Structure 1
Amino acid sequence: MDYDGPQRVSGCRSALDLALPDLKIAVEYDGWYWHMDAADRDDKKTAQLHAAGWSVIRIRETSRGRELPAVQGILVLAEFNEDANILASRVITLIAGLRQNAA
């Protein structure tokens, strides 16, 4: 799979960090700094995607044990220094589960 950066999809006003259009799965990485006061904005984006038939996985970065406010979507908590391979494996497992449930 090639990654060309954030992608726009029908039904959502802002670009997605990662979109899997064939599966209608969106993955958003919510970094602590940019999302500590953005729960309303994140919920609106997730609601737009849900209304368009998408599943949304939100990777929510924690900072020194502090979690970002809860939002809609399938939440994955990740420490800011978590090994990227381990985090990717957790997200891939979630995507595989969503694919099975959709089949």
Structure 2
Amino acid sequence: MEGYQTFDAIGAVVVGGVIIVSVNIRYRQKTYIEKKDLILKAGWLAGLALFLIYMGLILSGALVTPFLIPTFPEPNSSPDWRPKPWAPMAIYS
């Protein structure tokens, strides 16, 4: 699995193990089903948090990227050439 090489999958396995051990130590009196439900809720909460974080990073990248890509005049263009707000993607065409 290539992904973004952030080790989220490996980190999730390690943190998942820590959560399981912590739930078993803290909630000894609870049944297996109650522990399983608690761990499942923790997993959904962590997944939602990661989803929101990555969507925020994607959105901020999409909003900021047009301002970071330099705009260059076309060859043989007029001297009064000025960059236009919609021009940043023209360098890729």
TM-score normalised per structure 2: 0.32
Greater helix proportion: 2
Greater strand proportion: 1
TM-score normalised per structure 1: 0.29
Name the larger-Rg structure.
2
Higher RCO, 1 or 2 (CA under 8 Å, sep at least 6)?
A: 1
